[in-house]
Amino acid sequence: MVFTATYNSPVGTIVIESDGEALTGLRFGEGKLSLRFGASSIEKALHSSPIRTTATLPIFDEVTRWLDDYFAGKQTENAAMGTKTDGRITVQPKGTLFQQRVWQALVTIPYGKTVSYGELARMVGCKSAQAVGQAVGANPIALFIPCHRVIAANNQLGGYAYGQEIKKRLLNIEQL
């Protein structure tokens, strides 16, 4: 079962998903959800009974605290992919082995730093920055898997699934 909650952030509504234990999705507003389900389906989902409030699951409380800190400009630790062993929020994104490898590399990018798509490709041992870019764009857990920290080789923002304005605002929060 997928549990869902929303968070009102300075850059818009964030939809949070969990399997009850780990964070499995985090998206800005309609973002990728609208691509997968259509905007009217999202409206129905956000206002229907399967929505769980932040009080129902401890993971939602943990994610809310992390998001509060992040949007307050406090340096936050990246999430841990896999098993929760050190008190950090565990994220469990679903994707191909290649996507998982790229996402694992993304969580190693420190707060306040950026890397280019080419650098990220070298980090994962891939010759194609384009393939890496596609994996970055498929990231289902924004912020916790910090895909917004990947920029173009010419130091331009590059693409972002939720738009360049949100990417710019997130990087500004991190004081870049």
Give me the active site residues, please.
147
> For residue 62, how many other CB atoms are within 10 A of its CB?
18
Contact in structure between 5 and 16 (CB atoms under 8 Å): yes
Rounded to whole angstroms, the Cα distance separating 69 from 103 reads: 22
Query: Residue 167 and residue 165: Cα distance in Å, rounded?
Result: 5
74 burial (CB, 10 Å; 0-12 / 13-18 / 19+) is exposed
The 3 state secondary structure assigned to 115-175 is: EEHHHHHHHCCCCCHHHHHHHHHCCCECCCCCHHHEECCCCCCCCCCCCHHHHHHHHHHCC
Structure tokens at 60: 């939602």
d(CA 92, CA 59): 12
